């Protein structure tokens, strides 16, 4: 089995050339050869007549004797009485027969031309001419079979030369075509081993160049994905390890140390809190994983968005009431077709973050506007704000703006990643505007119909 593309390209070309040669021999046009023979005999006959006229009368015998130098031709000269004055024979085969009426026709000034259609044999022409008021008839015949052999040899030689030169050129051209594919194969092997820093350089603008560009783009994207994956694994490990370390340490303290009941209850409370933190993390990871599923189907229903937001605010009352936050909602009776459960999670995450990062006595406002085919929801708070350089990263999993506050503010950095995925599934858009110390404003733009 031939596995090399280079060998396949070369063999395909050679096969095409060989088939073309066979068809060329089979479809060889005999009529074209006969036409060439007729034209050649006519020109030869005219030259012989001119030479005969110039040599007449003293040198005609010498001139006619010299006609034997044309081995492919049978030349016969007839006088006014129809008698044969001179004859040369073909190098091989018998000269064609000339009928008396054909000789008479030419002596009377006609031109005779016998092709394959009128008689079987070699082509022949008859030309009339007059010398010293004497009428002559010159008949020139050609050995057509021998001419065909000569043409065949010439044609075969040319095709062999074409085959030889073409084979060398296609071998070079095929290597030019296959070499980029070989480089792509080697680069793919490196990527399969985990090396995503492979970049191929090509100035070509054809399909091979486009394939190279696509490969480089794929390598960059896979490299970025691998980096994100490693960071994700590192972040998950850190998020899991931190509460596990606390649980392990406090459990060891309860086992090996004698403590009073209040101290034990305090440690048990911390263990319960860290366990809940692990539970929330696993739930968020499962939800993020399910949302990342490419063919996830939304459970779309038609419901009132203002009632959903009002219900979320009521659900989060323990979070904002303990901090005495001023929470307001401005919304008309807007209907929306979407996955109600997933959008409910979206609003809980966004409003929960706004309340979480707003100091006691601050405010959180929610406004909903009808934009025709879209609904625009704005959530603004008077909290800490986000540095401008951090805004492009807040939707990445486990990203936290203020890492020094991890212990004070509960959260694992997955919530906004879930928010972004839910919005993408609904073909919506989310925007964030924030200034440190002035609060954050988040806008969510959703189509009324998915």
Pairwise CA distance, residues 79 & 282, whole Å: 119
Could you give the angle at the alpha carbon of 77 between the alpha carbons of 76 and 78, nearest 5°? 120
CB-based contact 128:107 (threshold 8 Å): yes
pLDDT of 379: 92
For strands 112-114 and 124-131, give the pairing: antiparallel
Tens digits of per-residue pLDDT, 111-160? 888 764 444 456 788 999 988 888 899 988 876 665 656 666 766 777 67
Half-sphere exposure of 295 (CA within 13 A, CB side): 0
Q: Provide the β-strand partners of residue 446.
A: 375
Q: Do residues 212 and 200 touch, judged by C-beta distance below 8 A?
A: yes
Instruction: Report the C-alpha gap between 127 and 46 in whole angstroms.
Output: 8
User: Kindly report the CA angle at 401 between 323 and 320, in degrees rounded to 5?
Assistant: 15
Structure tokens at 196: 């995503």
- Locate 79 and state its tokens: 């006088």
User: Mean pLDDT for each 10-residue chunk of the chain (450 residues)?
Assistant: 60 72 58 70 86 83 74 81 76 72 88 62 83 88 66 69 74 72 82 80 74 83 74 66 77 79 82 77 66 67 90 88 90 87 86 87 91 90 81 66 48 70 87 86 87
Instruction: Report whether 420 contacts 355 (CB < 8 A).
Output: no
Q: Which domains does the chain have, with CATH numbers?
A: 1-195 (3.30.450.20), 207-289 (1.10.287.130), 297-447 (3.30.565.10)
Task: List CB contacts of 237: < 8 A, sequence separation 6 or more.
Answer: none
Return the pLDDT at 365. 92
Backbone angles phi, psi at 367, to 5 degrees: -130, 140
Token digits of residue 157? 């030689």
Q: In this predicted model, what pLDDT tens digit does every residue of 302-355 receive, in sequence order? A: 999 989 999 989 888 888 888 889 999 998 888 899 988 888 888 988 888 888
Helix/strand/coil (H/E/C) assignment for every residue in 123-192: CEEEEEEEECCEEEEEEEEECHHHHHHHHHHHHHHHHHHHHHHHHHHHHHHHHHHHHHHHHHHHHHHHHH
C-beta atoms surrounding 81 within 10 Å: 9
pLDDT of residue 1: 42
Straight-line distance from the first to the last Cα atom of the chain, in angstroms, rounded to the nearest whole number: 53
With a pLDDT cut of 70, the percent of the chain lying above it is 74
- Is residue 378 within 8 A of residue 366, CB to CB? The reply is yes
Distance (Å, whole) CA 77 – CA 417: 106
- pLDDT for the residue 128: 92
CB 200 within 8 A of CB 216: yes
Helices 144-192 and 30-55, packing angle to 10 deg: 140
pLDDT at 406: 42
- Which helix (H) or strand (E) segment holds residue 417: the answer is helix 415-425
Q: Coil, helix or strand for 193?
A: coil
Give the integer Cα–Cα distance in Å for 363 and 355. Answer: 8
**Distance separating alpha carbons of residues 138 and 129, to the nearest angstrom:** 8
Euclidean distance between CA atoms 26 and 24, whole angstroms? 5
Residue 321 φ/ψ, nearest 5 degrees: -75, -35
The pLDDT mean for the chain works out to 77
Query: Beta-carbon neighbour count of residue 239 at 10 Å?
Result: 21
pLDDT for position 214: 85
Question: Hey, what are 221's tokens?
Answer: 């994207």
> DSSP string spanning 110-123?
--EEE-TTTSSSS-
The two structure tokens encoding residue 101: 């009426």
């Amino acid at each position: 089995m031939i596995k090399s593309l280079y060998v396949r390209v070369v063999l395909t070309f050679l096969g095409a050339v060989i088939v073309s040669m066979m068809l060329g021999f089979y479809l060889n046009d005999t009529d074209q050869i006969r036409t060439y023979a007729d034209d050649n005999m006519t020109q030869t006959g005219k030259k012989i007549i001119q030479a005969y006229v110039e040599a007449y009368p003293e040198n005609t015998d010498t001139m006619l004797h010299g006609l034997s130098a044309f081995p492919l031709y049978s030349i016969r000269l007839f006088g006014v009485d129809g008698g044969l004055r001179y004859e040369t024979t073909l190098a091989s085969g018998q000269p064609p027969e000339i009928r008396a009426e054909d000789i008479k026709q030419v002596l009377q000034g006609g031109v005779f031309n016998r092709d394959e259609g009128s008689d079987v044999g070699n082509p022949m022409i008859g030309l009339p001419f007059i010398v010293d008021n004497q009428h002559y008839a010159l008949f020139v015949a050609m050995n057509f079979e021998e001419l065909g052999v000569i043409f065949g040899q010439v044609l075969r030689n040319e095709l062999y030369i074409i085959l030889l030169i073409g084979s060398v050129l296609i071998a070079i051209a095929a290597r030019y075509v296959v070499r980029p594919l070989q480089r792509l194969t080697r680069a793919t092997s490196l990527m399969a081993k985990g090396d995503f820093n492979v970049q191929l350089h090509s100035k070509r603008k054809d399909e091979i160049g486009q394939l190279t560009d696509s490969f480089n783009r794929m390598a960059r994207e896979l490299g970025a994905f691998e980096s994100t994956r490693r960071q994700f694994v590192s972040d998950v490990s850190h998020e899991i390890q931190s509460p596990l370390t606390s649980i392990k340490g406090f459990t060891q303290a309860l086992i090996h140390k004698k403590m009073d009941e209040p101290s034990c209850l305090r440690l048990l409370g911390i263990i319960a809190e860290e366990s809940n933190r692990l539970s929330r993390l696993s739930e968020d990871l499962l939800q993020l994983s399910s949302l990342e599923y490419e063919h996830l189907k939304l459970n779309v229903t038609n419901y009132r968005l203002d009632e959903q937001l009002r219900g979320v605010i009521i659900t989060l009352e323990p979070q904002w009431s303990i901090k005495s936050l001023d929470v307001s909602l401005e919304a008309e009776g807007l209907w929306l077709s979407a996955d109600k459960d997933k959008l409910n999670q979206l609003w809980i995450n966004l409003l929960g973050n706004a309340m979480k990062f707003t100091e006691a006595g601050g405010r959180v406002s929610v406004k909903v506007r009808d934009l025709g085919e879209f609904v625009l929801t704005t959530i603004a708070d008077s909290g800490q704000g986000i540095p401008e350089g951090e805004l492009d990263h807040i939707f990445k999993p486990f990203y936290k703006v203020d890492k020094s506050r991890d212990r004070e503010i509960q959260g694992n950095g997955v919530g906004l990643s879930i928010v972004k995925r839910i919005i993408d599934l609904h073909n919506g858009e989310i925007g964030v505007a924030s200034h440190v110390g002035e609060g954050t404003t988040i806008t969510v733009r959703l189509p009324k119909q998915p």
